[in-house]
Chain A
């Protein structure tokens, strides 16, 4: 099939960006979206033009590198699917496809579709861990954990840190990302000793990074390729309140 692509091109973080139009023919429906962009890039390179820069690595939907708005939606039209796992069979011959980077002041554009998501790392550095040095641990089966808790922790821990939640949110809030980590550790006995401190620190860092407030519109959950639930945000809010009141 043949597609008209409209792609955001921006040389570096200080320059202005613009949309550029490209026509790509012979797109196979079995290609992934990134393989479609690879094909475009091979054509650009053979014409001595700069390829479109985008982050990607695993191409299995797990590293969270790939990050682009496709026709106004983070990771494109298919629900619970990262861009690298999106296949061209979801598009039709003649479609116009608009591709742009995540838009959020806490995620500055570095080049084309590549953004700086280090703010997420700093939120984790503020408290997204259990303070246990190597060697401290007791036997793994000393502490039985009810299966529902372990499963709920796993569901929250499935976050891949891609940033789609921020990109989808009209306030560019990082609440779902932060809440997923707070919940993951909050469900487990290992996470209890630092529970209050963790939520306070992580929320403080989130605010310092310039992410917006959460106004409970739930667009983040709809955009999340891993289906992380907004239920985690409610948990974070409860933990936060408790920590503020009694901490």
Chain B
């Protein structure tokens, strides 16, 4: 896959990142290198290998349905950039 300026811009938009114009070439190159490396990995024969769902040899880790105490509202909101009436306040959502 050919990485273009548009690809980088799209990935940045999806991740809510701003990428300065003078950094663009650097990112295009880095992205291309990542994908080239993935191409190398793609060459490994995985025919008889099960897909990995998790790296730990664990399964079925559950907890009982028992209520634990929650945070106080003050603590929950402590890191909120803005708050109002016990809510997290966020900027306008729709364009």
- Is A bound to B? no
